[in-house]
Amino acid sequence: MSEKVNVYYDKNCRLCNVAVNVAKKNDKDNCLVFISNENIDIKDTVIVEEGDVRFEKSEAVGILLKKINFKFTYLIVNIFPKFFRNLVYDFIARYRYNIFGKIK
């Protein structure tokens, strides 16, 4: 069995909840543990902790894509350099409630 991977996400974000549901459905190794980020300081990013290593923003998304076996999507996303992926991530994170809505 794979080592558990903690995923901190915004439980009030509709996009985040859809992503969590897709990840849960495709987590064949049952290694992902989803935790609301309401009790941590960082609110506008997904955080993935794998062992002692912490990933944020587009790197965290990449780890999730690999864990749920979305290898093709992972390869397409990683064609772009990290600074560009994080620019896109920051834009989506900033406007996620406006674009996708907020869960009350």
For range 8-34, the mean pLDDT? 94
Query: Can you give the CATH number for the domain in which 72 is found?
Result: 3.40.30
Domain that holds residue 11: 5-100
pTM score? 0.88
Q: 48 to each of 15, 22, 31, 91, how far by Cα in Å?
A: 17, 16, 12, 19
Split into its structural domains, the chain has a count of 1
- Using one digit for the tens of pLDDT, what is the confidence trace for 52-102? 999 999 999 999 999 999 999 999 999 999 999 999 999 999 999 999 999
- Using one digit for the tens of pLDDT, what is the confidence trace for 35-47? 998 877 777 889 9
Q: Report the mean per-residue pLDDT for the chain.
A: 92
- Using one digit for the tens of pLDDT, what is the confidence trace for 83-92? 999 999 999 9
Nearest alpha-carbon partner for 8 in 82, 18, 44, 92: 44
